[in-house]
Structure 1
């Protein structure tokens, strides 16, 4: 909780939603049940065709801290940007409309912010799949993090290169800009926001619950998803190289090998020469002893044999 002599910062919680009538009520209830009270909830309706907007309006009538903004279906990236533009908080965080948060989620952040004056706070989180709840923690303790360490932690379980378990200062969010029409917007943007921050703090309490649904956009193995994921990961990797984040490069490389392999195998006509050359270089330089997954080792060997004819 915030000490009496410290001004309680306003927290903006941005919730984009599209056809979320089955989950939105639980999401909004969890936000309204937060122990920390100085909160505004910014709901962005991304052209819903179900009863999601009606549910949102009912909550807005009951709770005065809810704002609703509607747009035609432009995608989650545009909805998130709209939410940031319409928010007024000192700190900004995101909650997906099919997820929910535990009562101390925001107060845990605020305690760290008021004590350490953090630009970005990160928390552990839980995943809920088929009724099974699993905690994901980088550590069992809470602690301050240096920027270089935070960059490498982005690729680790219990931390992650996504928005949902993080809170950002308004100063950092001035640089928030997403690529519309492309998936994996979190991976594309998180490391850029980290670059603009100076102070980081990790909260071990897993107050965010990420609900895993089969058939979600990013879990579907389409050509576009594989292309977008490779593009996001190669951009992240090149950024780490250009800025000298050597530990982050080491952590990022194994997953980059996997997404580069799937890009070469499955992206077909979406492929382009520049990305092809980078992907082939990644596979060519991959050392089998550094790959822990047997399936990925086999995949790399097959690609080296097949693509080797063309190099």
Structure 2
């Protein structure tokens, strides 16, 4: 394919302090055949104005605005605007290395891969100059996904082929934590070949007021539903990896319970639900090498004593 169009998709909400750096890194890409789509989700700062200013200077940018409906709706609008042969999500408070699209696209075209994924670096951490790449089949990529290794559930480090959207996957509005993993899973089911490179092209900005670090509540609890769905899907499509999926469900639920305990969360029906999940799948942690001994012990203690979970 000669000079394929790449659609870069940015949901925008109250990121005016970081948006210029993000857009500058996108527009300065060494690969220039881009469609840059911005959806402002009812920002209360001047993010929309910044988007419009950039669009006035670069014809590759399309700006859309909606009343605040959440990131899932914004991302679904972005999906509906794709014109490219490939697409890539960028969070509007992050930024990317200038040769990222060129490198990932070259790998995708050379290997005829459906997904090419790179590594993420936190904030301004030093980017390694050494790298390697590896090719995975669908089954191998599924296994790496469940083990939380090279192919993880993050959405913003993957160049993906438009054909993966043939069945119209959408972001679920009732899931606010772990929705990336669920969407990646849907695309992975359609992929035939996945390429991984450990090149650190994507800079993730660690913000303490993001959902990942906020107080525990219903939005974060929706992460439990994600892994319940993924376990059901694994049982149906990849039963050979079911123990791995159950072990991952146990680990992810343990992390949720830890966050709940440390935040002083007191809705005990939900706490008991998390504890039941840990207790049910804890034996799987001894069947597969998916986590540390420390995490295994913590999971065992946490499912027996919520008070203790908050003290460790």
TM over 0.5: yes
State how 1:102-251 maps to structure 2 within 5 Å: 102-128=97-123, 131-133=124-126, 140-154=131-145, 155-174=147-166, 175-183=168-176, 184-244=178-238, 246-247=240-241, 249-250=243-244
205-214 or 95-104, which deviates more: 205-214
Q: 1:249 to 1:22 in 2, by over 3 A?
A: farther
Give the gaps of 5 or more residues in structure 2.
307-312
Q: How does the TM-score come out when normalised to structure 1?
A: 0.84
- The number of residue pairs the alignment matches comes to 296
Q: Find the partner of 1:47 among 21, 42, 45.
A: 42
Q: Does residue 20 of structure 2 align to residue 25 of structure 1?
A: yes
116-125 or 254-263, which deviates more: 254-263
Q: Find the partner of 1:83 among 68, 78, 86.
A: 78
Q: 1:270 to 1:185 in 2, by over 3 A?
A: farther
How far apart are the structure 2 equivalents of 1:149 and 1:126?
24
Secondary structure at 2:250 match in 1: helix
How far apart are the structure 2 equivalents of 1:41 and 1:270?
44
Report what 2:95 is aligned to. Answer: 100
Q: Does residue 274 of structure 2 align to residue 281 of structure 1?
A: no
How far apart are the structure 1 equivalents of 2:293 and 2:214?
21
The 8 Å contact of residues 13 and 93 in structure 1, kept in 2 or not, is answered as yes
Q: Deviations over 1:59-94 (max 9, x none)?
A: 001111000011111111111110110121111110
Give the gaps of 5 or more residues in structure 1.
1-5, 307-311
Q: How does the TM-score come out when normalised to structure 2?
A: 0.84
How far apart are the structure 1 equivalents of 2:298 and 2:30?
51
Q: 1:112 to 1:245 in 2, by over 3 A?
A: farther
How far apart are the structure 2 equivalents of 1:134 and 1:121?
19
Q: 1:185 to 1:295 in 2, by over 3 A?
A: closer
The Cα shift of 1:270 comes to: 6.3
The 8 Å contact of residues 147 and 199 in structure 1, kept in 2 or not, is answered as yes
